[in-house]
Amino acid sequence: MHPFRKREDRPFLIHRTEKRGINGRDQNETGSQPYFRRDSKTFHKHLGNNKLVKIGTIELPEFPLLLAPMEDVSDPPFRYVCKQQGADLMYTEFISSEGLIRDALKSRRKLDVFEYERPIGVQIFGGDMEAMVEAAKIAEAVHPDLIDINYGCPVKAVACRGAGAALLQDIPKMVKMTEAIVKAVSLPVTVKTRLGWDEFSLNIEDTAERLQDAGIQALTIHGRTRKQMYKGSADWTLIGRVKANPRMHIPVFGNGDLDSPEKVRQMRDRYGVDGVMIGRASIGYPWIFREIREYLSTGLSASAPDISHRVEVCKIHFQKSLEWKGDRTGIFEMRRHYANYFKGMDHFKEFRMRLVTADTPESVYEILEEVLRKYQEAFA
C-alpha cells in the first residue's frame, strides 16, 4: 500500500453546507456529494510538531508549507487536492484590485473560498492606493483568514501598470499603501515580494523592516529580482539575512526553486526561515507537500505516487473543476494539468492528446480509466 494512503491516515467524509456569500450559491452545488477533508491537526500531532507559527491570531504548525498564489492554477479545485496532500496555508489566485472595485466577474469569482480550505488568504494586486484599500475591504467581506498583498509579480502586464514588482522601485509608496490596507481591514495583512527590482537595488532587508513597521503579520520573499523573472537560480542569502535580523519578529517564509524535500530541508537548516512557499513544483504534483512533511519528520524519502494515485487525484481534481466551473469550462481549463499529472510516464503522448481534445466528462473519465489499466498492466 502507498505510504501516503495508510488505512488509519485516510481523510474522513463531511458534507459541506456553508454558503459562499459572494455569489449567493451553495458551496456544494451537487447537493449531497461528499467532500473529503483531512484532520490536519491530528496529522501534524502525529508528526510531533509542537512549535506553532503565528500570523496574527492564525496558528500554523511548525515550519508550515504554503501553497503559492499562481494565476490560472491556484483555483479552488487545485487548492482542494493540495489541501488533501498537506498544504498548511493556501492563497487564492492573485486578484486585480481594479477588477474587484469594477465588480468584474472573473475577479469576483476568484473570491470563492471554502471552509475546508482554512486557513486561506486572498491575494490582491494593484498600483492605485485607493483601489487597493477598497479591494481589501471587498476581499475581507468574504471572510478569508488573511489579506495578502502582491509586491512580487514580475510579468510585464502587471509591473508596467505600476503593480506587483513595480512597487519595488518605489518603496515609500509600497509602505504607505501597506499601512493604508492594514488600517482599513481587521484581518491580518501579509506581503509577498522579491529581493529587489534588479541586482543594483537589492533592498529587501530594509524593505522587510519597513513593511513590518507598517503592520504586516508575515512576509514571503521570492529569491529573485524582478529583472530575473523566473530565470537563473533563486538566491536565498538575502532571505536568510532578513530572517536573522534581530529586529524582525514576524514569520519570514522563503520561496524559489523548492522542487524537492531535500532542497526544502537544506533551505530551512541553512537560512532558518519559518516556513516555505511551494509554487511551480506543486503543479500536477500536489504530493510534494506530504513528501516534504514526511522527509522533515523522518529523514526518509517517500516513494513517488504510483499510477493508481496519479489517476485518483487527477480524477478528484477534474471532479472539483466540473463542480466549480461547470462542464464546459471545467473540461477546458483542466487540460493544462494532464501533462503534469503524468509527467515522466513513457508513451503518454497519445493519452495526453486524447485528454486535451475530449469534450465530455464521461470521455475524460473513460480515458483516465484506460490510462490506469494500461500502466497497471505494464508494471504488473
Residues annotated as catalytic are 153
What contacts 76, CB < 8 A, 6 or more positions away? Answer: 112, 113, 114, 117, 320, 324
How many CB atoms are located within 10 Å of the residue 292 CB? 26
- Bridge partners of residue 222, in order along the sequence: 194, 255
**204 grid coordinates:** 529587501
Write out the E strands in 186-334. 189-194, 218-222, 252-255, 275-278
Q: What angle do CA 154, 222, 51 make, to 5 degrees?
A: 150
Cβ density class 160-186: b for 16+ within 10 Å, e for less: eeebbbbbbbebeebbebbbebbebbe
189-194 vs 218-222, strand pairing mode: parallel
The H-or-E segment that residue 209 falls in is helix 204-214
Cell digits for 298? 523522518
Among candidate residues 65, 63, 61, 38, the one with its CA nearest the CA of residue 50: 61
The DSSP annotation for 310-359 comes to: HHHHHHHHHHHHHHHH-HHHHHHHHGGGHHHHTTT-TT-HHHHHHHTT--
Contact 27, 18 (CB under 8 A): yes
d(CA 103, CA 90): 24
Residue 257: phi and psi, rounded to 5, are: 65, 30
- Helix, coil or strand: residue 96: strand
Q: Quick one: cell of 224?
A: 529573485
